[in-house]
Amino acid sequence: FRTLESLTLPDGVYGGTGHEFQHISDVSGVMNTLYSFRKQRPCLWLKDWYGELSEDSPDWYDGFDGEDIFDPDRIPFEIRLVAAGSRIGYRWESRDDHPCEAIWLDPEPDLDSSDSDYDEYIEELQEIEGQVDIFRGFHQPPT
- Per-residue H/E/C for 76-114: CCEEEEEEECCEEEEEEECCCCCEECCEECCCCCCCCCC
Does 137 map to a domain? no
User: How many other C-beta atoms can be found within 10 angstroms of the C-beta atom of residue 126?
Assistant: 11
Residue 83 main-chain phi, psi, to 5 deg: -140, 135
Q: Is the pLDDT of residue 38 over 60?
A: yes
Beta-bridge partners for 50: 80
Q: Per mean pLDDT, which range of 7-16, 44-53, 69-78, 87-96 is the poorest?
A: 69-78
What integer pLDDT is reported at residue 114 of this predicted model?
A: 63
Does 118 map to a domain? yes
- 60 is in which domain, residue-wise? 19-130
| 3-class secondary structure, 121 | helix
Does 69 map to a domain? yes
Q: State how many domains the chain has.
A: 1
What integer pLDDT is reported at residue 67 of this predicted model?
A: 54
* Amino acid at the residue 4: L
Does 7 map to a domain? no
Does 5 map to a domain? no
pTM: 0.84
